[in-house]
């Protein structure tokens, strides 16, 4: 018979399994049982959705049996089975390429617990087996098929006799070696404890045959001293408790159980940051088990990522990812909702308009919000880490839908501050504002250090005001949606309308600007249409110049928008400001607008170029700039 080759990716994973020196090889059982349970789920769902008669939920089960002589373990289910094509495509290729990627990216850490954390499905059988045989009959099919493989050199598929629909997997265990004991998996008590440990919550019975010791009642005429006759009978027992973790009482579940469930279910290497478990009885009754991950998954900020919670109707999964249960800004939440009030054969389209689902989604949103608020209050470090991972998503949430959710999200924000090397909330900022302060000052830039170097920062800091540093592209867009917090308006210290000076200072400034009107116009004309004006300012401490903006568009927003793939570029309205207290200001004022026009033109260009560079903008003509500098030197 012709051997077929595994797909390249599968072969790699398979090799990994065969040569695994992994210490927790026992998880192979969990993986196979979970596949069996999925296969029954699929059939049960089909039965309900298509109103199939002749199947009884009570008959569904998973059987596990060991055979010491043959050195085999057999795991069988009466689920949906596989057709020949499915057999080839499912077991010849690997679905979980995510775990393989992970492994490849972490090649250095050979021993990384990828297997235990991610689960690797069917192929984990090869960690303990030298040969694996899969017999399967697809539901409503008449011809069974047998898949067989000894590992890396390929597999065979041929027709075989199989009477009941479902799948039967036989593992031919490896021989014991000096370091590895495979015989342990032939002991029923060992298998039983593994089922209890990993698969207790599987909702179908996992059955094993057990020898039961029985004493036969003594016959009446027997001697009183005679030993009772003992026989051993084989009985089938259900090993698992079948209660899914989310249906259990919260106080009966340990943190470890939650963590283990999460890590296995969502293939996460990390424990969850928070667990939210609710059992709701009311207008609509449901159980929800939600997790806030510790780290964003590698695809979280890509379009690949699909948000959503698994949706169950009374223990039966009806949808793997129901997107309607989570708002976009909480899309990082993982978990499930189980409600008996939801109809099983509800379609996706109908779900979107389902009133009960909407109510559940609303509650979930509130639960998540409250949990985050709680985390912020009782685990600041944990929350900071959370915010590093998912803060960006919250900011998008503020910006999206025209700011509809800002009230809900604003207290979850953290910003770096000029007052301390730490993240602060808006509430904290406002709570310690100076008495005369009625604005929230912020500055935008690529990094905190770069913002610190902005000429505008000095003066604001010197006057004793705290500045929020915003380094994400979305920040300013979000701030424009917020506009104010607790009645205090947000003010960009690089924007035009910042006003920190006293009445006298203002007067002095306005006088100087008036007196120098001719000079300023000349400077502006020398620079051209790129800017809308030149003026003296008192907002700078040490620096000679800065660029500020007029209107809604700031410099950082211009950068962000222009970095997007759009045809049309936007332009912030720029104003060149010259420090009225700097020596350069006096020098300019002393010059003769008519006689020294040529020189002033050059100065204007030079000052403008400096201001652009400081603001993190490029200069259009570096050669001209360089020539200018040399000339003036
Ligand atoms: P995963 O379960 O994550 O999809 P596996 O490698 O464990 O990855 O399984 C691959 C596929 O093989 C499954 O998606 C399923 O379609 C099929 N499969 C595995 N075990 C069974 C089973 N007992 N009955 C029916 N189909 C199965």
pLDDT tens digits for 372-410? 999 999 999 999 999 999 999 999 999 988 889 999 999
Length of the chain, please?
633
SS3 label, residue 69: coil
Contact (CB, 8 A) for 542 and 513: no
User: Residue 7: its pLDDT value, please?
Assistant: 80
Contact (CB, 8 A) for 124 and 264: no
Q: Kindly give the distance from the C-alpha atom of residue 97 to the centroid of ligand 1, in angstroms, as a whole number.
A: 14
> Which residues, in sequence order, are bridge partners of residue 337?
288, 311
Q: Kindly give the distance from the C-alpha atom of residue 86 to the centroid of ligand 1, in angstroms, as a whole number.
A: 9
Q: Reply yes or no on whether the pLDDT at 115 is more than 60.
A: no
pLDDT tens digits for 86-109? 998 888 765 444 444 444 544 444
Per-residue buried b or exposed e for 278-287, using 16+ beta carbons within 10 Å of the residue's own CB: eebeeebebb
Determine how many CB atoms are found less than 10 A away from the CB of residue 290.
25
Cβ neighbours of residue 378 closer than 8 Å, sequence gap 6 or more: none
Q: Kindly give the distance from the C-alpha atom of residue 35 to the centroid of ligand 1, in angstroms, as a whole number.
A: 5
Q: Which atom of ligand 1 is nearest to the CA of 96?
A: 3
pTM above 0.85, yes or no: no
How far, in Å, CA of 322 to CA of 351, rounded? 9
Select from 38, 133, 155, 157 the residue to mutate for testing ligand 1; criterion: most ligand atoms less than 8 Å from CB.
38
E runs forming strands in 500-572: 531-537, 545-550
How far, in Å, CA of 450 to CA of 563, rounded? 19
Here the tokens at position 241 are 């408790």
Determine how many CB atoms are found less than 10 A away from the CB of residue 370.
11
Report which of 237, 253, 236 is spatially closest to residue 245, judged by C-alpha positions. 253
Q: Which atom of ligand 1 is nearest to the CA of 121?
A: 7
Q: Kindly give the distance from the C-alpha atom of residue 32 to the centroid of ligand 1, in angstroms, as a whole number.
A: 8
Select from 79, 122, 137, 170 the residue to mutate for testing ligand 1; criterion: most ligand atoms less than 8 Å from CB.
122
Select from 16, 40, 90, 317 the residue to mutate for testing ligand 1; criterion: most ligand atoms less than 8 Å from CB.
90
Reading phi first (left if > 0) and then psi (alpha if -120 to 50, else beta), residue 356 is in alpha
Distance of CA 411 to the CA centre of its chain: 21
Q: Reply yes or no on whether the pLDDT at 112 is more than 50.
A: no
Here the tokens at position 573 are 């309205």
Per-residue buried b or exposed e for 82-113, using 16+ beta carbons within 10 Å of the residue's own CB: bbbeebbebbbebebeebbebbeeeeeeeeee
Q: Which of 68-82, 216-230, 588-602 has the lowest mean pLDDT?
A: 216-230
- Percent composition of the chain: helix, strand, coil (DSSP 3-state, to 5): 40, 20, 35
Contact (CB, 8 A) for 164 and 137: yes
Residue 239 burial (10 A CB sphere; 0-12, 13-18, 19+): buried
**What is the number of H-type helices and E-type strands within the chain?**
21, 22
* Backbone torsions φ then ψ of 20, nearest 5 degrees: -65, 135
pLDDT tens digits for 122-138? 888 999 999 999 999 99
* β-pair type (415-417, 309-313): unpaired
Q: Kindly give the distance from the C-alpha atom of residue 102 to the centroid of ligand 1, in angstroms, as a whole number.
A: 20
Distances in Å between the Cα of 171 and the Cα atoms of 132, 310, 573 are 5, 31, 72
Q: Which atom of ligand 1 is nearest to the CA of 86?
A: 16
| Whole-number CA gyration radius for the chain | 35
Contact (CB, 8 A) for 285 and 340: yes
How far, in Å, CA of 117 to CA of 103, rounded? 11
Report which of 348, 280, 282, 279 is spatially closest to residue 311, judged by C-alpha positions. 348
- Dihedral angle sign, alpha carbons of residues 214, 220, 224, 225: negative
How far, in Å, CA of 436 to CA of 452, rounded? 24
Q: Reply yes or no on whether the pLDDT at 49 is more than 60.
A: yes
Q: Which residue has the higher pLDDT, 345 or 562?
A: 562
Q: Kindly give the distance from the C-alpha atom of residue 156 to the centroid of ligand 1, in angstroms, as a whole number.
A: 17
Residues in contact with ligand 1 (CB, 6 Å cut-off): 35-36, 39, 77, 79-82, 90-91, 95-96, 121-122, 167
Residue ID of nearest Cα to ligand 1 atom 1: 121
> What CA dihedral angle connects 375, 380, 382 and 385, to 10 degrees?
120
How far, in Å, CA of 511 to CA of 515, rounded? 6
How far, in Å, CA of 290 to CA of 273, rounded? 11
Q: Kindly give the distance from the C-alpha atom of residue 31 to the centroid of ligand 1, in angstroms, as a whole number.
A: 9
pLDDT tens digits for 169-223? 999 999 999 989 999 999 999 999 999 888 888 889 999 998 888 888 776 665 6
Banded model confidence at residue 589, pLDDT cuts 50, 70, 90: very high
Residue ID of nearest Cα to ligand 1 atom 7: 121
The mean per-residue pLDDT over the stretch 474-491 comes to 93
Q: Which atom of ligand 1 is nearest to the CA of 34?
A: 2
């Amino acid at each position: 018979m012709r051997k077929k080759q595994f797909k390249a990716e599968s072969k790699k994973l398979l090799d990994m399994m065969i040569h695994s020196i992994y210490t927790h090889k026992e998880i192979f059982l969990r993986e196979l049982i979970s596949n069996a349970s999925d296969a029954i789920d699929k059939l049960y769902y089909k039965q309900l959705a298509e109103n199939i008669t002749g199947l009884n939920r009570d008959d569904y089960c998973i059987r596990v049996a060991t055979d010491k002589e043959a050195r085999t373990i057999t795991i069988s289910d009466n689920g949906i089975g596989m057709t020949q094509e499915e057999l080839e495509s499912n077991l010849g290729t690997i679905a979980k390429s995510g775990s393989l990627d992970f492994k490849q990216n972490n090649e250095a850490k050979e021993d990384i617990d990828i297997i235990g954390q991610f689960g690797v499905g069917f192929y984990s059988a090869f960690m303990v087996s030298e040969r694996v045989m899969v017999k399967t009959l697809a539901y409503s099919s008449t011809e069974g098929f047998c898949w067989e493989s000894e590992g890396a050199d390929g597999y065979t598929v041929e027709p075989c006799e199989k009477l009941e629909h479902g799948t039967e997997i036989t593992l031919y265990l490896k021989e014991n070696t000096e370091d590895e004991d495979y015989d342990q998996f032939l002991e029923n008590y060992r298998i039983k404890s593994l089922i209890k440990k990993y698969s207790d919550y599987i909702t179908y019975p996992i059955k094993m045959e057990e020898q039961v010791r029985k004493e036969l009642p003594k016959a009446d005429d027997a001697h009183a001293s005679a030993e009772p006759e003992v026989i051993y009978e084989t009985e089938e027992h259900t090993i698992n408790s079948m209660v899914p973790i989310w249906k259990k009482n919260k106080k009966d579940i340990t943190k470890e159980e939650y963590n283990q469930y999460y890590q296995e279910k969502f293939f996460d290497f990390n424990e969850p940051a928070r667990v939210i478990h609710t059992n709701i009885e009311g207008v609509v009754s449901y159980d929800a088990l939600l997790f806030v991950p510790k780290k964003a998954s590698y695809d979280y900020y890509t379009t690949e990522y699909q948000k959503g919670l698994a949706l169950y109707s009374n223990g039966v999964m009806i949808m793997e990812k129901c997107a309607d249960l989570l708002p976009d800004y909480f899309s990082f939440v993982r978990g499930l909702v189980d409600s008996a009030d939801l109809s099983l054969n509800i379609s996706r389209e109908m779900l979107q308009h389902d009133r009960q689902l909407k109510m559940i989604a609303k509650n979930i949103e509130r639960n998540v919000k409250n949990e985050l608020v709680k985390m912020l209050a009782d685990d600041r470090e944990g929350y900071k880490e959370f915010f590093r991972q998912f803060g960006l998503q919250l900011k998008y949430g503020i910006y999206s839908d025209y700011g509809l959710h800002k009230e809900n999200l604003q207290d979850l924000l953290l910003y770096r501050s000029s007052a301390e090397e730490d993240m602060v909330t808006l509430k904290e900022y406002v709570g310690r504002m100076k008495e005369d302060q009625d604005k929230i000052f912020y500055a935008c830039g690529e990094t905190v250090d770069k913002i610190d170097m902005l000429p505008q920062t000095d003066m604001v800091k010197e006057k004793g005001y705290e500045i929020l540093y915003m380094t994400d592209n979305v920040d300013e867009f979000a701030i424009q949606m917020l506009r104010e917090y607790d009645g205090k308006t947000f003010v960009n210290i690089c924007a035009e309308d910042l006003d920190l000076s006293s009445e006298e200072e203002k007067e002095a400034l306005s006088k100087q600007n008036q007196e120098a009107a001719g000079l300023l116009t000349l400077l502006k004309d020398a620079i051209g249409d790129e800017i809308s004006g030149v003026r003296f300012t008192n907002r700078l401490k040490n620096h000679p110049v800065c660029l500020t903006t007029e209107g809604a568009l700031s410099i950082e927003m211009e950068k962000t928008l222009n970095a997007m793939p759009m045809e049309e570029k936007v332009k912030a309205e720029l104003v060149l400001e010259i420090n009225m207290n700097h020596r350069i200001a006096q020098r300019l004022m002393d010059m003769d607008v008519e006689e020294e026009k040529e020189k002033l033109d050059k100065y204007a260009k030079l000052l403008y170029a400096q201001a652009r560079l400081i603001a993190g903008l490029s200069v259009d003509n570096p050669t001209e700039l360089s020539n200018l500098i040399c000339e003036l030197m």
